[in-house]
Structure 1
């Protein structure tokens, strides 16, 4: 394996594959914080040249993290399809990049290679692509999933309504959800991040959202984004769980910092599938998981093993795809400027994450977001939102006025979602679009201001609040 190259008389030799991967990455403050980043642009280019010349076989045969020490590495290798890999094993990373970007290579051809691709190969490809390349390649790919509705089809843009509340006031959560529904959002999921991770709070939120969905017969799903163990205990006490949520990362140690391991995720998925069958719901299928990720999570946990944050993010997708999720979401700017310093880095990371996730077969959404101490603003978020819509992102967040009053960060609003649908000629999930049309809120691609529809939705909120066992306050 040749890890040496010469650029205009200057010789660059990299001590190992980890260093090649890290130095070839675009500028990220997290890699600089970890001491992994290229020292100069010349070194970055040299690392890209070396990476482009490596074969896929060389990458597969030299794991960046020892599988004897890390269960995520073992999962990646155990899931790899050696037979599908054989025809492309001799290709270099540069050759595979060129193939994917060629006009004669469509999404079906790329998707056929998925079983042969490891997260590290996906990361290597992303490092050799420009922002435009990431958009072009990702736009070829569709990943369709089904729960109460169908997400990911071409021509569809889903939105997660995120009605968080700083005190978990249930009436406040439901009113915020109504705001999103009246603006045509909520087809991906109505997902609440609880301020308190208690079983009682999580159960109350799940019951309230379920009442709202049943009262209005909404073809969507609910989720309370608490720790997996909290959700499962709430389920054991009778709370309805549509999607089981968990944040995941790209190393065993990072996942351990989240209080999880792969066995816990396997058990949780199985229990939720059994729960769905016991509820005898017509929409029950195999896609019952919702994962969130973000570049920098392993480094923030001191669990990065000297591997750059882009590659670790790809490995998190290796974890996610083992569980056939309904939704995956990169919360791209949430961890903070220590890992993605400014709008340039956030935009780059969002495009990388979306491409890598889609390439590995995941139903990727992106929370286009930033924290208030990052060098970014709503204009830069708008830029990434437009670029990701062009790339075919499955769904975005819908937060009232783009300002999450519980998590204290900036995201995208329901109005931003409407703008993207109008600009690109996109519709909500087909079942959800049909519901909006029956309410009188949607006509073709246009959202309609309908007083009867608003009255119906607010009536549903009132019934969910006032029903027996319903929320109070």
Structure 2
């Protein structure tokens, strides 16, 4: 058993367990403090990072942070670990792994082959030793391509979820917000609605409206009503036009039980959606959502820090080959990520860890109104994520979700990333935008006049 201790500042720092070491090495965040897991001082944090840097990666193959016998997520991680793929880095310590990731030897192709050989705990550990710029530098090397009616994850492109939520699930209100977003070039990842009332009749009504809109205007994208996975399965059985099945997931079996889901149910939903064969350029049919603090808020964290548990949720996600995954990075509130600095750090960590594990990783760049954050912080995070090669971002009208009551990005923000920084939409969706007169041949939005006329025509 390794001894997780070191002498620093004239004091012996003994961390006892691997879970305690991982927590103490984590950059500051309010959730770990709330759980009593955070380093007590900056000196203790540095000491933990020193010990972690010298820890062999192989330790994570034999020492589980959450018991194998009682947690199906741990069993999934260990039982599906690809030892052959791991062989490339098996001789390294966590610190050596960090240095190698930042080297020219760790190309995108090499990292793609390595992904099945990495456990979530390994990528969480190395992220704790990295600066923000390191997280960006490594993540931008990695390309993860997924497809349904659009092809997502291609270099130089950023996908977007159009989120036209309405506080009363008014179909006309949802439709107007959807048309507004389409004019700004938003929606190539998904047209996705969170229903205010989570029941099957409401979900089917929204889904039918989105399907009619999509088919009437030949929009090459996919739709999703973010209802519970059991509702989606029943909707498929009733013949509803389900493109993507949505579900929130977490990094422990107990937390997933709180969401009303387990691995068996996820696989059942995946198979049901695939059976419809509705994709045109691919068959990735799952949309999964995560967020730091989910397990802690459910008292299902097993004494493990929230960022490591977030990475474990990505093992759940990659088991069902999703089209898109996103962390709702600041949604749970300041009890878990206190301010803009913590939200920015967490967003970069989550994106890095997801891509390292081979996931099509997006981010809901967001915060709640009682957090010490503002839209300037979100501007910084979305721009950093764009530089890091994020799979997709979420946008809502005016950056203000009036149903979920939180702040995200606006349709204008997606336009900024594409017009000012040169990023483009998914190729199939971009071709449609150009045909509609919303963008020019370089993918940049045209002046308001032409799109406004087309919007009026679409609204008829």
TM-score by length of 1: 0.95
Cα distance, 1:284–1:142 mapped onto 2, change above 3 Å:
closer
Q: Is the 8 A contact 1:215 1:460 kept in 2?
A: no
Partner of 1:145: 146
Structure 1 CA distance for aligned equivalents of residues 350 and 304 of structure 2: 16
Matched-pair contact (CA < 8 Å) for 2:161–2:395: yes
Task: Provide the C-alpha distance between the structure 2 equivalents of 1:304 and 1:32, rounded to a whole number of angstroms.
Answer: 13
Kindly state the Cα deviation for residue 422 of structure 1 after the two structures are TM-superposed.
Answer: 2.3
Residue 105 of structure 1, CA deviation: 2.4
Q: Deviations over 1:141-161 (max 9, x none)?
A: 111111101010001011110
**1:319 counterpart (307, 316, 321):** 316
Distance 1:265 1:329, change over 3 A: same
The residue matched to 1:5 in structure 2 has which SS? strand
- Correspondence 1:343 to 2:340: yes
Shift of 1:11: 1.3
Distance in 1, Cα, partners of 2:255 & 2:9: 40
Structure 2 equivalent of residue 117 of structure 1: 118
CA contact (8 A) 1:440 1:450 kept: no
Paired with 2:238 and 2:458, the residues of 1 have a C-alpha distance of 25
Q: 1:348 to 1:363 in 2, by over 3 A?
A: same
Q: Contact conserved, 2:147 with 2:281, CA < 8 A, in 1? A: no
Within the candidate set 422, 425, 440, 2:422 is matched to: 425
Deviation (angstroms), 1:445: 3.4
User: For 2:447 and 2:201, how far apart are their aligned partners in 1?
Assistant: 37
Deviations 1:393-418, CA, capped at 9 Å, x for gaps: 11111111100010000000010111
Shift of 1:451: 4.9
CA contact (8 A) 2:438 2:450 kept: no
Using the TM superposition, give the Cα deviation of residue 448 of structure 1 relative to its aligned residue in structure 2, in angstroms.
1.1
Q: Structure 2 unaligned segments of length 5 or more: list them.
A: none
Q: Which residue is 2:298 aligned to?
A: 301
Q: Give 1:456 shift.
A: 4.0
Instruction: Determine whether 1:89 maps to 2:90.
Output: yes
Q: Is the 8 A contact 1:24 1:47 kept in 2?
A: yes
After superposition, residues 228-239 of structure 1 pair within 5 angstroms as 228-239=229-240
Corresponding residue number in structure 1 for 2:103? 102
Contact 1:200 1:234 in 2 (8 A): no
Deviation at 1:8, TM superposition (A): 3.5
Deviation per residue, 1:217-266 (Å, 9 max, x gap): 00100000011111222222221110000000000000000011111111
8 Å CA contact 1:186, 1:220 repeated in 2: yes
Query: Is 2:389 the partner of 1:392?
Result: yes
Kept in 2: contact 1:294–1:332 (CA 8 A):
yes
Residue 251 (structure 1) aligned with residue 249 (structure 2)? no
Contact 2:362–2:393 (CA<8 Å) still a contact in 1? yes
Is it true that 1:174 corresponds to 2:175 in the alignment?
yes
Alpha-carbon distance, 1:458 to partner = 4.0
Q: Which residue of the partner structure matches residue 468 of structure 1? A: none
Residue of structure 1 equivalent to 2:431 = 434
Alignment match, 2:133: 132
CA distance in 1, matches of 2:116, 2:236: 34
TM-score, length basis structure 2:
0.97
Unaligned runs of at least 5 residues, structure 1: 463-473
Match of 2:444 in 1: 446
Q: How many residues align?
A: 458
Task: Supply the distance in 2 between the matched residues of 1:451 and 1:283 (Cα, whole angstroms).
Answer: 32
Most deviating of 79-88 and 168-177: 79-88
Q: What SS does the corresponding residue of 1:191 show, helix, strand or coil? A: strand
In structure 1, what is the equivalent of residue 408 of structure 2?
411
Q: Distance in 1 between matches of 2:31 and 2:392?
A: 26
Check whether the contact 1:404–1:411 (CA below 8 A) recurs between aligned residues: yes
Cross-structure match for 1:69: 70
Give the corresponding residue for 2:213. Answer: 212
Partner Cα distance (1:399, 1:173) in 2: 11
Distance in structure 2 (CA, Å) of the matches to 1:245 and 1:94: 36
